[in-house]
Amino acid sequence: MSTIAVAVAAAGILVVSLRSLTATSRENQKHPKTLIRPPLLALAPLSPSSRRCRRHRRRKHPPAVARVKHRNAAMGRMHSRGKGISSSALPYKRTPPTWLKPATSDVEEMITKAAKKGQMPSQIGVLLRDQHGIPLVKSVTGSKILRILKAHGLAPEIPEDLYFLIKKAVAIRKHLERNRKDKDSKFRLILVESRIHRLARYYKRTKKLPPTWKYESTTASTLVA
């Protein structure tokens, strides 16, 4: 009896829906501009999987701005988690400022004097900026500090960045002689020495170092003495 009752109820629902469809089609024929939508049939509740599918379809793609930002993201550092993007912003005008008094010959003389005292190109640049008010040597002389030093035969034998990395490695080795169980320092020494080897390969390729030059931890202290 129950199955018969369910079948009769289903047939009744179909008849009602068909009647409503025919009624709406007649109304649409009378008034074609204002179309009436037919009532939806009573459907069974959606399963969780079908709900998920619909939700996925409705989800909007991220805006184009977010994709552009991701493309222009800063490159990660080699041996750290940081993505620092700080850098100096040079002025658009490359001519020397009107208030700058020292001439080209005076600036070159200052650079050579500082180099003879054993100062590196970056240290000379800081000295000229802070004590003599020269913001950019190239705007005054037409060439950078390192090029001026090369012209006078006072350029450092080892490039500056490589020199300071070797100095750091020597300092860590001295620390490890006193503290043999410092595992973090051992790890940092490996990272510093790997950077030294990478830079040395680059400078050999660009012929800034001789092809026979080699970094050795035993003789590294003599390079930075």
- How do residues 86-101 score in pLDDT, each as one tens digit? 888 888 888 888 888 8
Please report the pLDDT score of residue 91 as a whole number: 84
pLDDT tens column, 176-194: 999 999 999 999 999 999 9
CB 83 within 8 A of CB 75: yes
- For residue 139, pLDDT beyond 70: yes
Q: Which of 28-32, 35-39, 134-138 has the highest mean pLDDT?
A: 134-138
pTM value surpassing 0.85 = no
CATH of domain 157-224: 1.10.287.10
Q: What SS3 class is residue 30?
A: helix
The secondary structure of residue 209, as a DSSP letter, is S
The helix (run of H) or strand (run of E) holding residue 25 is helix 2-30
For residues 50 and 46, give the distance between their C-alpha atoms in angstroms, rounded to a whole number: 6
69 band by pLDDT with thresholds 50, 70 and 90: very low
Q: Out of 33-47, 102-116, 158-172, 196-210, which region has the weakest mean confidence (pLDDT)?
A: 33-47
Domain ranges in the chain?
Answer: 104-152, 157-224
Q: What share of the chain is helix, strand, coil (3-state, %, to 5)?
A: 60, 0, 40
Please report the pLDDT score of residue 51 as a whole number: 56
Please report the pLDDT score of residue 85 as a whole number: 82
pLDDT tens column, 14-28: 555 556 656 655 655
- When pLDDT is averaged across residues 105-123 and rounded to a whole number, the result is 95
